[in-house]
Structure 1
Amino acid sequence: MRILHTSDWHLGRTLEGRSRIEEQVKFINELCRIVEDEAVDLVLIAGDVFDTVNPPAIAEELFYDALNRLSAGGTRAVAAIAGNHDNPERLCASSPLAVRNGITLYGLPREILTPSPTFLAQSNQRRVTRVAAGQGWAELHIPSCPDPAIVAMLPYPSESRLNEVLTESLDEEILRAEYSKRVQQLFSSFGQHFRPDAVNLGMSHLFVRGGLESESERPIQLGSAPTVEAEAMPIGAQYVALGHLHRAQAVKGTAVPTRYSGSPLAYSFSETGYAKSVILVEAFPGQEVTTREIFLSAGYPLVKWQAKEGLGQVQQWIDEGRDFNAWIDLEVFVTNALQPQDIHNLRQRRERLINIRPVFPETEKLAAEARSKLPIDELFRKFYQERMGGAEPEQELVSLFLSLIDSDKATLSEGIKTQRRGDEEAETA
C-alpha cells in the first residue's frame, strides 16, 4: 500500500495581508500530480486544512476540489482530520457526500464514525468503502490493494474538544502529564482494532515534545492543549502521520515511525530556507514501512534582504532580478527616514516586497549605549513597557525581578567558590 502524508494546508491564509491562493492552487495541482505519478492508494491529511474556523469561500471551494481530484471518483482513499485552526463541524459538513466517494472526514475526538452505507459496500468492490468503523478508527477497503488499511485518528485533542477537564491543577507539569496520559489512552483504545493482516496507521494533530516549531504555528484553541510525550503514540501502528508543526521532521523517541509532513508553503519569514515536502509511505501488513520525502515547488520562497548600503543597493538588486519569484522581507540601512514615495516606488517595482523596515545604525548604537548605562531596574521597566504596549510594571513585579537577579548572583557566586575550592584541592592532591 502506498500512502501519502500531508498536513497544514492553511487554505485561505495570507502573508501580511497578501493572498496566497495562487500558490495554494499550484500546491493542490502539484499534489494531485504526485498522487497520480506515485500510484498512491491512500492520502492522509493530518489537520489544519483551513487557516481559520470561518474560511473564505474560495478556500472551501479549493478544498472540495482537492478532495474530488484526490479520491479519483471513489477509487482512492482519502482521510482528513480537524486541526486546531479548523472548525470540526464545518470540516465534516459534507461527510454524507464524502463517504460515498471514499473520503473520511473526522472532526472531533469523541465522534463515532460509521461504516459506508450497505448498498455501497455490497454493490461495488471497485470503490473505497469503510468496512468497519467506530470512535477514532476506520477500516478501509481500497480496491487497488489486497490488504485493508486500519487508521486510528485523533483530531486536535484540546480539553474543550475532548469535552473533558483533565485535571483541576494549574501546575504545568501536572497538566502536561495528564494530557499526555489521556492522548495515550485514546490511541491505545483506537489501536485495539489494529490487525496483523492489515496496514495499521495512526494520524493526529498535536505537538509532541521535542518537535521543532516555527513562528507560523499560531495557536488558535479553546481550552489547554500542551505537549504530548513521544511514548503516547499508538503502539501497533506501522506509521503515525502528524500535523501541527510546519517544519517537516521525524519525531524522536517514539516506538513506531512518526513524522510531521510540515506545511506545503512557508507561512512566515521564520521559515526562510525550509524545504517543503510531503511524505510517501510504502507499507505491507506486519512489516516495517519505508518512507520517502517528496519535495514541493509550488510555493514562492520567503527571503530576507538586509541592504546595508541603503536604497541604492535595493534598487540594484531589483534591477538584477534577485529573488524574482520570492516574497521579500526588507531591512534597509538609512540615515534619514524613508519617504512614502520611496516605499511606493519600491513596491511598484517589486510586487512581493512585503515588509520594509528602515534601520538607523547610529541611532541603534546610541540607544544600545544608553541602555547599557541604565540601572537594572530601569532596563527591566523599559523592557516591560516595550512588550506590554507602554504599560508600567507594578512595583511588586520589579521587586520580584530584582530578587531573582540577586538570587541568581548568589547562586553563581557560590558555584564559583565551590569550583575554586575543588581546583585548590585537586592541586594539593
Structure 2
Amino acid sequence: MSFIYELKSVPAHYARAEGSLLSEDDRPVIGYAKYTVSLPQKNKKVVNLLFAHGTGMNKSIWRYHIEKLYELAAGNLPWQLGTVVAFDAINHGDSMVANAGKLGVTHNWTDNAKDALCVVKNEPELSSLNLESITISIGHSLGGFTALYAAYLEPIFFESIIAIEPVISSKELLIPADQISPEQYAYAVSSSYKMLKKLDFAIQDQFEDEADFVEFMTKYSFYKNIPQKVLKPFLEDEMIAGKDADGEDIITVKACKKQQMVAYIGARHAITNGMPILRFINIPVTHVMGSKSTWNDPDFGRSYIRSEIPNCRGVEIENGEHLVNCEMPDETIAVIIDHINEAVQRANKAGKQFPATLTDKQRDEIFEARYDNIFKEYEQIVAEAKKARAKSKL
C-alpha cells in the first residue's frame, strides 16, 4: 500500500523543566514525519500509530517498520493503516536542528511525553475520538517511557500502548530517600557515573567524511548490529554536512554528543517520576523485552512494570537485547501486528464514546443517567461490604 510522506513541525510543550532552555524567550519546536495512506480501504477499521524513538536515534529508525506495516496492512489483515507519525525528541533529529542554540543542560523526559501530545493534537486523525479509528502509541527506551507517560497524562487519545524496553524502573530508586543508606546512595551514584562515562567515550558526532561516518556507525557504534534495512534510513536522516573549528568540511550528526548525554543524564530523574505513575495507566499495554537484554536491571523491570500496570501483557523476543526493535525488526513487527489485532477486536466491541450530535434534551438525559449511576455504584460497594462483614462474623 502506498502512502504520502510529509515532514512537519509543531510548537513544543513550552512550560518545560528548569534548565531545559537557555532563554525564556526561546520557543522550541518538534519535528516529525507524517505518513498518510494514499488509497484507503472501505469497511476496515483505521489504525493510526505514534512512534517515539530512543536516545541517540531519530524518527527514521522506525522507517522500515512503518513501510512494512503499510505493506502488510494492504493484505488480508482485518484493519488498515491510516496515519502514522514518528517524531524527533526535542534534542534529536530535525527537532535538534530547529532548536540549535536554544536548549540547555536539562532534558526532562516527562517533557518529551508532553511534546508527543503536542504532535498528537496537531494531527486531527490521531486526536479525533470516533468509532472508525483508533490510535496506538509505540515507543522504545526513552520512547517507551514517553509512550507510557503520555498515556498517563491524557489516556483518552490512545487505545493502547506498545512499550519496548522502556526505561522507567529501577530497584534502587524504589527505596525511599529517607531509608537509603549512604553506602547504597554512593553505589547508585557511582554506577550511574560509570555508565555515563562509558557513553561519553562511545558517542562520536564529528567525522572526516561520509565514508568515515558510515564506517563508525556500522562497525563501532551502538548501532553496529542493526541490519541495513533499518540502519540506512536512520543514518541518511541523521547525517549532515558541517564545518570544523578551522572551517574545514566535516560530517556531523543532528543529535550532537552533548545533547545525547543530556538526554541520558535525564534518565535517572525520569525513572523517579515514572515509576509511581505505572499503576494509574488504565489502558492496555504490551511490554516488550529482549530475552538477553542487560539494560536497566531487566529482571526487576520485567516484574515491576508488568505487575504495576493494571492491564499489561508481557512479551519476550527470543535472543533480543535492548535495541531489539532495531536489531530484530521483523520479530518486533510481528508483536506490533498481534497487538493491533487485539486492539481492533476490542474497538469493534466498544460503543461510541461521544455521539456526533446531541439535542439539549439528550444531553440532560445522558448527564442524569450517568449521575444516578454514580450513586448506584456506591450502593453496590456498600452492599458488598455489608455482606463481607456479615460473613466474617459467622
Structures share fold, TM-score greater than 0.5: no
Q: Which has the larger radius of gyration?
A: 1
Structure number with greater CO (CA < 8 Å, separation at least 6) is 2
Alignment TM-score, normalising by the size of structure 1: 0.27
Q: Which has the higher helix share?
A: 2
Alignment TM-score, normalising by the size of structure 2: 0.29
